[in-house]
Amino acid sequence: MQHLQDVIDRREALRRAALLLGGALAAPTVAGVLAGCEARSVPDAAWRPRALTPDQADLVATIADHILPETDTPGARAVGVHRFIDAMLAESYAAEDRARFLAGLADVDARARQTCGRAFLQCTTTDQRGLLLQMDREAFATTPAPEEAPFFRTMKELTLVGYYTSEVGATRELRHAPVPGRFDGCVPLAEIGRAWAV
Amino acid sequence: MGGVSEPYDAIVVGSGITGGWAAKELCEKGLRTLVLERGRHVEHGRDYVTEWWQPWQFAHRGLGEQQLYERDYPIQSKNYAFGEATRHFFVNDREHPYITPDDKPFRWIRGYQLGGRSLIWGRLCWRWSDLDFEANRRDGHGVDWPIRYRDLAPWYDYVERFVGVSGERLGLPHLPDGEFLPPWEMTCAERHVKQAIERAFPGRRMMVTRVANLTRAHHGRGPCQARNQCARGCSFGGYFSSLSATLPAARKTGRLTVVTDAIVESVLYDTRKDRAAGVRVIDANTGGEREYAGRLIFLCASTLATAQILLNSKSRRFPSGLANSSGELGHNLMDHISKAGATGIVPGLEDKYVYGRRPTGTYIPRFRNLGAHGEEKVAFLRGYGIQAGASREGWSRGASEPGLGADLKLRLREPGPWEMSLQGYGECLPRHENYVELDPERKDRWGIPLLRVHCAWSENERAIREDVKSQAAEMLEAAGCRSVETYDHDGPPGFSVHEMGTARMGSDPKTSVLNAYNQAHDVPNLFVSDGACMASSSCVNPSLTYMALTARAADYAVSELKRRNL
């Protein structure tokens, strides 16, 4: 209930902000804020994908977790990369791009049936990883035009964006300074330690 | 927003970078000034709605909403500063149409709000030199400028002192030094490339850009916090904008009135007095018309909007648009070429990195056609400067390389190699056949005739692009870079957002719209000091010159007003 209350509070805050801003220009921005807040606030059990089926969302989360797994920091599934990908498919992608992505997911299952005899999620972790490594090699064997990118390139890009722009990805896996306050053009890498998130 | 009663001493149309300056100067010189802005009100700080958002707070994590962009922002979304964090500072293209021929696209990037594009500008600040002011006379394109560097130099001093420009003094005659705050630092890789280029190409220099981001606090603003997210708005006032700097200064005088959502339809002309009498305004929300009377009119609506207003201000005396006895109004539209250059990997320096996000890059000043003794002959007129920069690649490189799993994650925890990029910004010749006009039939939702833009690059601009690419690649090779590749993302005019020149200055009223003080030849109390006034384009970013011209024009206008000459 805590989460739900948060959403309601934000909704009210944004409604007031919208009144202050006035005009049509502010409205889509505010809608975007709401979408972002909801995606973050809804607990896992209550979250429902909009472009994906629950099974497809599980498949996306599993592939994403193979791409960026849990190490000494959480992996892609734990930070909700699949939610971000679902939001992109539902809100940003054109119908044909969404269809291409879903066909790519179906193809993962089709190839899993060939290589391990079952749908991807029913394969062993080792078999899953083997298939994805194969798809990764194929995807980067050539450099296609962006509109003809193989599914795995798209999936990998979305996973990386979703992960490294997440709070965990930006602040625990990488380094993030919201307000650096100054710029030093040449410092030892050891002083920073990790790559900057932004 | 204040209650000064009409007639106003001065009316300023537009609140962007030049409108803000006109307002400040006119108010400070004692004029009761009305600023009209067609867009919504934006409150400095409070209305920078995305300023404090972190990456994970954006619903689409910076990738944006592609379907929405294609439908409502097909033009604006091509601008580098457009994105999920800044969309509210760009116009909706569907709601604000203009017309171009099918074979001559033009990208008109616009920000309809208080502060205009000064909220989203690139902030680079360069002085012109006589290499620029004499260019038209030297090669016969366009008309000669009625001013020279010595006319503008004190006004560059004046605006730089207020703006706060950080930068290096190089002592180059063709890119004059100014009054600078300390420069931003170069990265290790930039220092290396700079030394190598300057050694291999005597006469070429590389420096950190001169930029309106404050490296120390200045007039109660800043310093810049090195976030490099300026276009979201900055409540620190770390960069110069109308909202952070000029409009507050104007407001402090008690003589400023600002009216937003006020679209200027035309300038009113009093035939009896032979003067501009005021402006007719359409309320953006209600569509209602009203008029404001003023003794002095400054058009600072932006190059194309100013031309549109003048073309739409028809009278018996001026049947083809106000102040258009020359027939040049709307003509000689220019932009800069950009998005051509080269990239390469700077080897080594793997144990070095940066702290903070510098809000700018480095710059290689123009080195072609300087008139220097024995310089290389090239197949084009005028020249280009190169915007450059080196930074270490980040996590996004993982999306274009094979590999996955814990190995990939570990690899992306480290920054990638130093990548150096060079991008040319080249001068565009003034040509009569690049022009705007009003569509005879189609109107916008407020009943104002749509602008038709006819603009295309010429052979000279194409030749500059070619030279940029080959020279950029040669310089990177000379600096020992690996994987040097040229690129050329040619785009239609307008995409550099340096559109200028539709009401050019000149000495002869028969061939120019404005005189040496940005005053209309035909209408003494009408001034145009935005990009429309430009007689040529130079190759450097133009905003600082617009600002200096505006301050100078305001000074002249007020002295003429006091002498009762207006």
- Contacting residues for B384 by C-beta, under 8 A, at least 6 apart: B337, B366, B368, B424, B425, B426, B427, B464, B467, B468, B539
Chain A CA closest to residue B54: A178
Given a contact cutoff of 8 angstroms between Cβ atoms, the answer to whether A92 and B63 are in contact is yes
Task: Tell if the CB–CB gap between A185 and B188 is shorter than 8 Å.
Answer: yes
Residues of chain B in contact with residue A23, where contact means CB-CB under 8 angstroms, are 40, 285
A54 in reach of chain B (CB within 8 A) = no
Looking at residue A41, what is its pLDDT?
55
Which structure tokens are listed for A111?
Answer: 């190839």
The confidence score (pLDDT) of residue A173 equals 98
**What are the Cα distances from residue B74, in Å, to B22, B97, B208?**
32, 11, 33
The helix (H) or strand (E) run that includes residue B495 is none
Q: Residue A186: which of B58, B352, B410 has the nearest Cβ?
A: B352
Task: Please say if the pLDDT value at position A178 is more than 70.
Answer: yes
Q: Quick one: pLDDT at residue B157? A: 98
Q: Which residues of B touch A139 (CB under 8 A)?
A: 402
Percent of chain B surpassing pLDDT 90 = 98
Site from B37, B48, B404 to mutate, A interface, most A CB atoms within 10 angstroms: B404
CA distance B107 to chain A (A): 21
Decide if B358 and A183 are in contact by the 8 Å CB cutoff.
Answer: yes
Q: Do B394 and A195 touch (CB under 8 A)?
A: yes
User: What pLDDT, on a 0 to 100 scale, did the predictor assign at position A145?
Assistant: 79
Confidence of residue A27 (pLDDT cuts 50, 70, 90): very low
Mean pLDDT along residues B35-39:
98
Residue B330 CA to chain centroid, in angstroms?
A: 18
C-alpha distance from residue B215 to each of B125, B168, B221, B449 (Å): 14, 12, 11, 45
Report chain A residues whose CB lies below 8 A from the CB of B404: 66-68, 132-133, 136, 156
Taking the C-alpha atoms of residue B426 and residue B464, their distance in angstroms, rounded to an integer, is 7
pLDDT at B174: 97
- CA nearest to B361 within chain A: A185
Distance in angstroms (rounded) separating the CA atoms of residues A98 and A71: 31
Cβ pair A25:B40 closer than 8 A: yes
**CB contacts, 8 Å: B416 with chain A:** 195
The pLDDT mean for chain B works out to 97
Q: Does the pLDDT value for residue A33 go beyond 90?
A: no
**Is B461 within 8 Å of B333 (Cβ atoms)?**
no
Tokens 């990029």 belong to B421
Min Cα separation B432/chain A (Å): 37
The tens digit of pLDDT for each residue in A92-127 reads 999 999 999 999 999 999 999 999 999 999 999 999
User: For chain B, what is the total number of helices (H) and then of strands (E)?
Assistant: 11, 18
Using alpha carbons, select from B453, B193, B476, B196 the residue that is nearest to residue B307: B453
pLDDT reported for residue A146: 73
Which residue is closest to A164 within chain B, CA to CA? B395
CB nearest B408 (choices: A68, A92, A177): A68
Nearest residue to B60 via CA among A118, A83, A47: A83
Question: Could you tell me if A128 and A66 are in contact, meaning their C-beta atoms sit under 8 angstroms apart?
Answer: yes
Other C-beta atoms lying within 10 Å of the C-beta of residue B153 = 16
Q: How far is A10 from chain B (nearest CA, A)?
A: 13
Task: Name residues whose C-beta falls within 8 Å of residue B156's C-beta, 6 or more positions apart in sequence.
Answer: B127, B176, B178, B544, B548
For residue A42, what pLDDT is reported?
65
B548 min Cα distance to partner chain A (Å)? 29
pLDDT interval class at B5 (50, 70, 90): low
- Best probe of the B interface among A6, A166, A186, by most B CBs < 10 A, is A186
Per DSSP, B143 falls in state -
* A143 confidence band (pLDDT: 50, 70, 90): confident
pLDDT of amino acid A6: 34
Among candidates B55, B67, B88 on the partner chain, residue whose Cβ is nearest the Cβ of A165: B55
Q: Is A174's Cβ below 8 Å from some Cβ in B?
A: yes
Check if A7 contacts B (Cβ < 8 Å). no
Residue numbers in A near B65 (CB within 8 A): 32, 91-92
**Alpha helices (H) along B320-366:** none
* Cβ contact, residue pair A186, B191, below 8 Å: yes
Asked if the Cβ–Cβ distance from A162 to B61 is below 8 Å, we say yes
Radius of gyration of chain B (CA): 23
Per residue in B234-249, pLDDT tens? 999 999 999 999 999 9
Residue B28's CB: how many other CB atoms inside 10 A? 16
Distance CA B50, CA A178 (A): 13
Residues of A in contact with B186 (CB under 8 A): 185-186
Any long-range contacts for B78-85 (C-beta under 8 Å, 24+ apart)?
B78/B107, B78/B491, B78/B495, B79/B107, B79/B109, B79/B495, B79/B497, B81/B120, B81/B122, B81/B231, B84/A32, B84/B50, B84/B58, B84/B59, B84/B60, B85/B50, B85/B53, B85/B58, B85/B229, B85/B231, B85/B232
pLDDT for res B192: 97
Contacts of B64 in chain A (CB under 8 A): 92
Q: Does A27 touch chain B (CB under 8 A)?
A: no
Which residues on B lie below 8 Å from A69 (Cβ)? 405-406, 409
Within 8 A of A26 by CB-CB distance, chain B residues are 49, 88
Distance from CA of B332 to the nearest CA of A (A): 33
What is the distance in angstroms between the CA of the first residue and the CA of the last residue of chain B? Answer: 28
Judged by CB atoms closer than 8 Å, whether chains meet at A23 and B40 is answered as yes
Neighboring chain A residues of B67 at a CB cutoff of 8 Å: 91-94
Give A17's contacts in chain B (Cβ within 8 Å): 49
pLDDT digit string (tens) for B385-436?
999 999 999 999 999 999 999 999 999 999 999 999 999 999 999 999 999 9
Please list the residues that pair with B419 across neighbouring strands: B345, B391
Average pLDDT over residues B495-519: 98
Question: Is the CB of A94 inside 8 Å of chain B's CB atoms?
Answer: yes
Q: Which of A29, A92, A132 sits opposite B67 (nearest CB)?
A: A92
Q: Which of A160, A166, A183 sits opposite B356 (nearest CB)?
A: A183
Question: Phi and psi for B485 in degrees, rounded to 5?
Answer: -135, 140
Using the predicted structure, report yes or no on whether residue B550 has a pLDDT greater than 80.
yes
CA B107/CA B75 separation, integer angstroms: 6
CB contacts, 8 Å: B392 with chain A: 195
Which residues 107-166 of A are in CB contact (within 8 Å) with B? 129, 132-133, 136-137, 139-140, 153, 156-157, 160-162, 164-166
Return d(Cα B191, Cα A185) in angstroms, integer: 10
Residue of B58, B88, B398 with shortest CB distance to A25: B88
Closest-CA residue in chain A for B87? A29
Q: Pick from B75, B43, B54, B18: which is nearest to B453 by CA?
A: B75
Counting other chains too, the contacts that B282-285 makes at CB distance below 8 Å and 24 or more residues apart are B282/B446, B282/B447, B282/B448, B284/B38, B284/B39, B284/B446, B285/A23, B285/B261
pLDDT band at B2 (very low <50, low <70, confident <90, very high): very low
Residue type, B77: S
Percent of chain B clearing pLDDT 70 (strictly above):
99
Mutate to test the interface with A, among B166, B285, B407, B409 (most CBs of A within 10 A): B409
Chain A residues in contact with B92 by the CB 8 A cut-off are: 25
Indicate whether B167 pLDDT > 80.
Answer: yes
**pLDDT for the residue numbered B4:** 47
Measured between alpha carbons, how far is B67 from B44 in angstroms, rounded to an integer?
31
B482 Rama class: left (phi>0) / alpha (psi -120 to 50) / beta: beta
Q: Tell me which chain B residue has its CA closest to the CA of residue A177.
A: B356
